[in-house]
Amino acid sequence: MRTAIFMLETSDGKVYKSLITLERLESTLGDSFLKVHRSRLVSVMAIHDITDKVNLNNGERLGYVARRKKELTAALAEKRARLIGTLDSETPPMPDDELHAQYRCFDALPIAFTDIEMVLDEDKNAVDWIFRYANPALAWLEKVPLHELLGRSFRSVFPNMDSKWLKSYERAALYGETLELIDHSPEIDTYLKIICFPTQPGHCGCLLFDIAEMKFAEDSGDAHNAKLRYFARMLAKLL
C-alpha cells in the first residue's frame, strides 16, 4: 500500500498537507475527482476538457499518458454527468415565456443582462450557449438587434467565438459558482467586466459592463475598483 504526502492546493493559493494512502484518498474523494496520473487526482469541476493535455479552467495544462486519452475522456464524461445530475434541481427549466415574464423588470435596466442556457456535447463539455433572455442594453453592447440574439446560439451570431468564455459560464451554469471576469471580447472588440451566476438548471445569468464606459467614485478605497479605474484610463488613452 502506497502512503504519500497529500498536498491540496486551493484556488486562493493555500496549501494543505496530509499523510494518507493514495487508495484511501481516491476512495474518499469518489466521483468528484479524476485520476489523470498515478499520483495526481483532479477535481472534475476544475477540468474544461481533454485534448493532448488535461485543460483546466484556470488555464493550467496537465500531461497524461497518451494511450489513456480515450479512457480518461470517457471517465470524465461519466463522472461529469453524475456530478451534474446531483447538482441539478428537480425543477424543470422554465419555459421561455415564463422566463421573459420573470425578467421583465430587466428590460429597462441600463446594464447589459442575459440568461443563457449551456449547450453540451456528448462528453458533457460546454461547446456553446443559447440566449434565452436578453435585454436591450445587451443588444446595444453586442451591436446586434435583440431579435437576432434571442433563441440563438452565441456561435451562430459570432462565428469568431472565443472559447475562453465557456470555461466560466460552464462553472456557473453547471456547478453553481458565481464568478467575475475581466477580459477582452474579440467578438465585439471590447474590454468587458462580466459577473455570471447560476439561475436555473443548466443556465446562468450574466451582467456585462463595458470597462471603457464604467465610472468609478474617485474616493473609493476599494483596491479592485482602483485597478479597474486605472485600466479604464489606460484603455481610454489607446482608443
CA dihedral 152, 138, 206, 45 (to 10 degrees): 40
Report in angstroms the alpha-carbon separations of 86 from 109, 165, 169, 201: 34, 24, 19, 11
Residues 86-97: pLDDT tens digits?
A: 665 556 778 888
* pLDDT 10s digits, 181-232: 999 999 999 999 999 999 988 899 999 999 888 765 555 556 566 656 655 5
* Domains observed in the chain: 3-87 (2.40.50), 96-238 (3.30.450.20)
From residue 47, alpha-carbon distances to 98, 167, 224 in Å are 33, 9, 27
What confidence score (pLDDT) does residue 133 get?
Answer: 96
Grid coordinates representing 9 are 492546493
